[in-house]
Amino acid sequence: MDEINHNILYRPNLGDKKLALLLDPEKADLSALPITEECHPDYIFVGGSTGGDTTPFVRALKEKLSIVNCQLSIILFPGSAAQFTPEADAILYLSLLSGDNPEYLVGQQVKSARRIHASSVEVIPTAYILIDGGVETSTMRVTGTKPLNPSTAEGVQTIIDTCIAAELMGKKAIYLEAGSGAKTPVSPDIIREVRKNTSLTLIVGGGIRTPEAMNAAYSAGADIVVIGNHFELHPEDLKSFCRNIEISKSRDLEISKSQNLETDERFMRLALCEAEKALAADEIPIGCVIVSQGQIIGRGHNLTETLSDVTAHAEIQAITAATQTLGGKYLPDATLYVTVEPCPMCAGAIGWSQISRIVFGAPDPKRGYRTYAPRVFHPKATVTAGVLEDECRTLMQEFFKSKRS
């Protein structure tokens, strides 16, 4: 449950472009679901503008997903209170802020409140905003509301103001909807303006038919792109959308890497100096430095043998030193550089300290936190992997080789 919370309630990090597949229980053909273990969206949204209880559908969907060995979060995107099911992982608790129909602003929410409250379904308070996509959609018909008009300056301002209002009301996500089968998706210009004016998780759906349109939405600032109608017609296209996300994610990573690389390499060299100190003491050579505002505020290296203490890892030493330097237990503005991917224990300590950026050199698939506790850091923390990876790894390999010989 928490996993969904962290993914949707907090804005994903750079490169975390999420794809949601929207299934309407009244239309979707589960036998043609194009999901495989290797190629799948990040979430499945379930809902439609008409239709009732989604329990049988969600159960069948779960069964289908377990057959293909794919554990995806199932998130309700309900058209009415009747569509709620406690079988889902989360619910977009939608309020149709673009319209003035009280039934969809608050009425359906009141009708479903008690059942949702009694369930363990994660609730994601979401502002649902209809934007004119050039066709009359079933949502418009069912809710009796008009979408906001993005083609005039005044209309654009209303869209932005509605999104700002959503944030002020305490919503956690904004869903910009052009409507199922929209002629035109929500334009990148609108997405960009909304992104500039709010910090909420931004979900964009309706009328997206090509990977290019999807990428344009991401580039403009969308966190989650929702595709429903198109995959109903062309399930085979899921593969090319997924591949495109991977490509654009790796491009983003390259850009962010090169921006930070110079600084990161400089501090990683200092972490390597710490690792050398461990090596000189016949310890597993891992070193760490913690930096705040360009200054080192803590450093440490592995001392488990010297101190005969299994918890005496480099990161723990450096965190202790840094908190002593600053005189407080939290380090929210700090970046931690460590030569090897932190273990779950250190990652836990890094999480507790609220360190906001973690940079490591060599990955450690066997003992690293990513295998055991990938969400252990502060939800807003960012991670950069692979800085001076070869040097960090070589130091480790040489140490273990010398131990074996």
- Which residues bind to Zn ion, rule: CB under 5 A? 313, 343, 346
Q: How far is the CB of 338 from Zn ion (least distance, A)?
A: 8
Residue 357: CB minimum distance to Zn ion, A: 18
Indicate the residue among 168 and 310 with the shorter CB distance to Zn ion. 310
CA distance 89 to 85: 9
Which are the contacts of 396, defined by CB distance < 8 A and separation ≥ 6? Answer: 284, 285, 286, 339, 340, 362
Taking the least distance from each CB to Zn ion, the nearer of 76 and 343 is: 343
> How many whole angstroms separate alpha carbon 247 and alpha carbon 353?
33
Q: Is 282 helix (H, G, I), strand (E, B) or coil?
A: coil
With respect to Zn ion, which residue has the nearer C-beta, 313 or 357? 313
Least gap, CB of 166 to Zn ion (angstroms)? 41
Please say which residue, 44 or 286, places its beta carbon nearer to Zn ion.
Answer: 286
Rounded alpha-carbon distances, angstroms, from residue 36 to 61, 205, 245: 13, 23, 16
Sign of the torsion formed by the C-alpha atoms of 123, 129, 130 and 133 = negative
CA 38 to chain centre: 19
3-state secondary structure of 343: coil
Nearest-angstrom CA–CA distance, 394 and 220: 40
Closest to Zn ion by CB, 178 vs 334, is: 334
Do 290 and 334 meet the contact criterion of CB atoms below 8 Å apart?
Answer: yes
Pairing of strands 287-292, 295-301: antiparallel
Nearer to Zn ion, 23 or 343 (CB): 343
Q: Provide, rounded to whole angstroms, the least separation between the CB of residue 334 and Zn ion.
A: 17
CB of 326 to Zn ion, least distance (A): 21
Least separation in angstroms between residue 303's CB and Zn ion is: 12
